[in-house]
Chains A and B, each alone.
Chain A
Amino acid sequence: MRSKLFALSAAALLAAASPALAEGELNIYNWGNYTSPDLIKKFEAAYNVKVTITDYDSNTTALAKVEAGGHGFDIVVPTNSYVPVYIDKGLLLEARPDQMENFKNVSEQWKNVSWDKGRHYTVPWQWGTTGMAVNKSVYSGDVNTSAIFLDPPEELVGKVNVVPEMNDVMNLAIFYVGGEACTEDKTVLRKVRDLLVEAKPKWLSMDYGTTDKLSSGEYVATVNWNGSTFRARLNNPDVVYGYPKEGYPLWMDSVAILKDAKNVENAKLFMNFIMDPENAAMISAFARYANGIDGSEAYMPEDMKTAPEIVAPKESAAAGQFVPTCSPAARDLYTAIWTELQK
């Protein structure tokens, strides 16, 4: 009897709780530690919408989850190289942000991009680079090289972390051996594979959470993104960001609406919302990456205008390249190498 009453009242509680959660919702699927809480609060207040944010740590995980279906998300924020994959699979809603009110604020260079011609599907979120983050009190040598993780100097052996973001790691390694982005050249890839496998025992770990761990000193060197390193440096002045001279990837993350989204209207409101300069500045101020909206500089924190993580030094600027979407064959090869690396 008691347990039946128990079950009944619990069910009633559940039923009561559910409607309250269903009204005016927006479910965002984004990278971890990447969304400004202030931005969300502002959006929630402006449109009376309840926002939930779910984290993912890699593009592949996100795509796998979205493709599997039944996820419940409305918005996803993929990196540029993955956007065509999403579009080809029919996973994105053609939301036509280029026809939205705030689209005029998007910087010219980001208005028409190779991965989303005419911006029919996505809106810029943030963009940045991938490089090395090193604690200079432990290692004071040259940080502008991928050798930090591919052939660690003595002081850093056994202390380097590598973020398990396949694309970034593979690209850095490919550039290091002199290959081209999206190469399918097996000799190059063999060198890459051997290099990575040989370097792995010298790594500390392959994990995320770099911002906090760099700040606390738990990581003294890691493959990292520029904004994350910037934030770590604000907490721990010993952190420096290196632009690998062998070549480093440039990327942009964009906001897209999923085709099976349940809250399409709210998602469109959000898309328009973040194209406003003031709001774009909020996004950047939190994660410390550049955004693609004109006029946002006026609202961004001062230090972002001169920070070495945002404004690449002249000698390093040339080595950066935007990595396009690789062919399925290339992607399969990279996945195979990546899996081998996991042991």
Chain B
Amino acid sequence: MSSKPAKPFSIKHLPGFTTIALGCFVLLYAPIITMVVYSFNSGQSVALFEGFSVSWYFEAAKNELVQEAALRSLIIAACASGIATVLATMAALGTTRTRNFPGRTFIYLMINQPLMVPEVVTAVALLIFFASIKVATGYSGLAYLILAHAAFCVPFAYLPIRARMEGMDMALEIAAADLYATPWKTFRRVTLPLVAPGIAAGAMLAFVISLDDVIITEFVKSAGQDTLPTYMLGQLRRAVTPEVNAISTALLAVTVILLTAFFLLSGRNSPAGK
């Protein structure tokens, strides 16, 4: 309780909180920024900054293993997020803006299950499951990885789509029905365009999640199926090279770009305008 009249009493201010908060941001970004800065280091050492150079990016880009791993990561992410988004959209349609029905909680549980189960357990489960299928069918292509990725991407695609749908006003669709539109046409011409930002957000989130996955990919992959994260994990266990720095920074840039897009899209969240 201050008797000094000068400074206005802010009810929101809590002593020390701002300092800790700012300190937290510094702590969060310091390692990342260090990594980014050193990826432009011309020297080999990660302790001494010798000069600005983009040579490590070229090294990484020239490295055939990196190229393959990057391409594989992109293919898996694209397929997995595509599949996950489509299925998540359908599931969202079936579970939102509707009165409760028997089994809805069960559907929720199933869809959100990857969020609740530790990744290591899922990885182990898939290892066992796929191993027997691989032996039985003799097929060991990318399909297993895509399937596994699509599965755990579904909840990440589902949540933004559902959030978007819940915020939508049914009046528009009812109006369409009144104008003799079939349910399919209503969906295509009214619902879908309105949910589109949510779907795009979900797809992007799923893409990022798939791109990032380490554990499940590490356990499930077969010969020569490295993705960028598993390649980096392998490298990390041997030596810390600036090449890994460069790859990490590049991945980080992709994530930032996608996230910026996500934020911009979500800014236009409510269809009726704020």
**A contact set with B: CB distance below 8 Å:** 1-4, 6-7, 10-11, 13-14, 17-18, 27, 29, 32-33, 52-55, 57, 68-73, 207-209, 211-213, 216
Number of residues from B at the complex interface, CB < 8 A: 36
A216 vs B44: C-alpha distance when bound (angstroms)? 11
Interface string of B233-261 (1 = CB under 8 A from A): 01001110000000000000000000000
21 contacts across the A-B interface (CB closer than 8 A): A2-B199, A3-B85, A7-B82, A7-B83, A10-B78, A14-B75, A14-B79, A14-B146, A18-B141, A27-B223, A27-B224, A33-B238, A52-B223, A52-B224, A70-B131, A71-B222, A71-B223, A72-B223, A72-B224, A209-B239, A212-B238
User: Please, which residues of chain A bring their CB within 8 A of the CB of B89?
Assistant: 3
Is B32 interfacial (CB-CB < 8 Å)? no
Tell me the smallest distance from the CB of A238 to a CB of chain B, in Å.
Answer: 17
Question: Is the CB of B142 closer than 8 A to any CB of chain A?
Answer: yes
Contacts of B86 in A (CB 8 A): 3-4, 7
Known A6-B78, A10-B75, A10-B79; judge A69-B239 contact (CB<8 A): no
B134 within 8 A of A: yes
Return chain A residues, CB-CB under 8 Å to B226: 54
CB distance from A180 to the nearest CB of B (A): 34
Chain B positions within 8 Å of A32 at CB level: 234, 238
Do A70 and B134 touch (CB < 8 A)?
A: yes
- Contact call B223/A13, Cβ cutoff below 8 A: no
- Nearest opposing residue in chain B for A32, CB measure: B238
How many angstroms between the C-alpha atoms of A73 and B225 in the bound complex? 11
Given contacts A7-B79, A13-B75, A209-B237, whether A68 and B224 have CB atoms under 8 Å apart is no
Q: Report how far A267 CA is from B50 CA in the complex, Å.
A: 45
Smallest beta-carbon distance A263→chain B, Å: 10
Is B203 in contact with A1, judged by CB distance below 8 angstroms?
A: no
Q: Determine if A70 and B203 form an interchain contact, defined as CB atoms under 8 angstroms apart.
A: no
Residue ranges of B at the interface with A (Cβ–Cβ < 8 Å):
71, 75, 78-79, 81-83, 85-86, 89, 127, 130-135, 140-142, 146, 188, 192, 196, 199-200, 203, 222-226, 234, 237-239
Chain B residues positioned under 8 Å from A208 (CB to CB): 237-238
Q: Is the CB of B239 within 8 A of A213?
A: yes
A69 to B130, CA, bound (A): 10
Instruction: Determine the residue in chain B with the shortest Cβ distance to A208.
Output: B237
A3-B203, A70-B140 are known contacts. Are A11 and B79 too (CB-CB below 8 A)? Answer: yes
Whether A10 contacts B140 in the complex (CB less than 8 A), given A29-B223, A71-B223, A209-B237, comes out as no
Residue of B nearest to A29 (CB): B223
Contact A72 B131 (CB under 8 A): no
CB distance from A43 to the nearest CB of B (A): 15
- Interface pair A69/B75, CB less than 8 Å apart: no
Q: Are B134 and A69 in contact (CB under 8 A)?
A: yes
How near does chain A come to B107, taking the closest CB pair, in angstroms?
Answer: 20
| Nearest-Cβ distance from residue A67 to partner chain B, whole angstroms | 10
User: Which A residues are CB-close (under 8 A) to B81?
Assistant: 6
The chain B residue with its CB closest to the CB of A13 is B75
Report yes or no: A3 in contact with B223, Cβ–Cβ below 8 A: no
**How many whole Å from B210's CB to the nearest CB in chain A?**
12
Q: Which residues on the B side are within 8 Å of A69 (C-beta)?
A: 131-132, 134-135
Closest 8 CB pairs of A and B: A70-B134, A52-B224, A7-B82, A212-B239, A72-B223, A69-B135, A209-B238, A27-B223
